Amino acid sequence: MAKGRKKVIVVFYEKKYRKQGKFIGYVNRIIANFEKNKAVFGKHKTKMSTVRKALKELVKATTVSRGTRAKGSGAKREQKHTIVKDHLLDMLTHVQILVRNEKDYTKQLAIIELSGFGVKKVGKKNKPRLQGIYAGPGRLHLVSQSFGPEAVNEWQHGIIDGIFDPLPATQDADTYVDKLKSDSWQFFQHRANIDGVVGTWCKSISVYIKPY
């Protein structure tokens, strides 16, 4: 790694996924990312079919615990949760090893982006993944975390969360959006395309457009 480059660490933000439903959804996305990008992640020590089976057992245990509250069902659910979490942390370690072995900084970020895990740059305050800054009546300045000079930044905009239209791609990790409706909520997403390796869309942000 080049001198002065910040160390990149792969992270799992556990506090964000304390609720069982969110945790299950998160792990399911990580598994899907590994399966979809086998050329990047290679062969993991645990087969994805094994991890998916453990996740299904957690879903079943959670359903039983919530639906029947039978004696011992809570403890069984926690046991299944621990098994899935251990698999998840093993996958995180696998991604961290790939990142450590990759000397190119932008490709390090691309690997993490594809995995679905979070990224932490040690020694540098992390900026929000995506933020919208008021830039005048009906105008918004979108700023994303930078994935390096080789990244092509792709943007999406929608008036309903989950339904998006593409915005023009940019070389810089920021862009401006004009003619946004007054007194309304608008939704945006971002992803990076690095040397043809397309990342996943970040969690959408909602921005209120002031009346004008």
- pLDDT, tens only, 166-205: 999 999 999 999 999 999 999 999 999 887 788 889 999 9
Digit-coded pLDDT (tens) for 56-76:
999 999 998 887 777 788 899
36 occurs within a structural domain: yes
Q: What total number of domains does the chain contain? A: 2
Residue 160 belongs to some domain of the structure: yes
Q: In b/e form, how buried is each residue of 90-101, taking b as 16+ CB within 10 angstroms? A: ebbebbbebbee
114 and 147 share one domain: no
What's the whole-model pTM score? Answer: 0.60
The pLDDT assigned to 186 comes to: 96
**Residue where one domain finishes, among candidates 59, 93, 121:** 121
Q: Residues 157, 111: one domain? A: no
Give the pLDDT of residue 6.
63
Domain co-membership, 91 together with 72: yes
* Same structural domain, 198 and 172: yes
93 shares a domain with 147: no
Token pair of 198, please? 């397309």
Please, what's the b/e burial string for 33-66 (b: 16 or more CB within 10 A of its CB; e: otherwise)? bbeebeebbeebeeebeebbebbebbbebbebbe
Helix ranges restricted to H, the chain:
20-36, 38-41, 48-68, 73-101, 105-115
- Within a domain: 100: yes
**1 within domain boundaries:** no
Rounded average pLDDT over 156-163: 94
- Say if CB 99 and CB 177 are below 8 A apart: no
In a domain, 187, yes or no: yes
Q: Is 64 helix (H, G, I), strand (E, B) or coil?
A: helix
Is position 2 within any domain? Answer: no
Same domain assignment for residues 142 and 103: no
Q: Looking at the structure, tell me whether residues 169 and 196 fall in a common domain.
A: yes
**Domain closes at, from 75, 97, 121:** 121
Domain ends where: 73, 97, 121?
121
Tokens, residue 22: 């969110």
Residue 81 belongs to domain spanning: 8-121
pLDDT band at 107 (very low <50, low <70, confident <90, very high): confident
Query: 110 and 15 share a domain?
Result: yes
Q: What is the CATH number of the domain that holds 185?
A: 2.60.40.10
| 179 lies in some domain | yes
174 within domain boundaries: yes
What's the maximum distance between 2 C-alpha atoms anywhere in the chain?
59
Residues of the chain with pLDDT > 90, as a percent, come to 54
Mean pLDDT of the chain: 88
Binned at pLDDT 50, 70 and 90, residue 129 comes out as: confident
Same domain, 111 and 138: no
CA dist., res. 107 & res. 87, Å (int): 24
**What average pLDDT score do residues 100-120 get?**
87
64, two tokens: 């039983």
> Alpha-carbon distance 16 to 23, whole Å?
8
Same domain (yes/no): 102, 67: yes
User: Is 109 found in the same domain as 134?
Assistant: no
Confidence of residue 4 (pLDDT cuts 50, 70, 90): very low
Same domain, residue pair 116 and 134: no
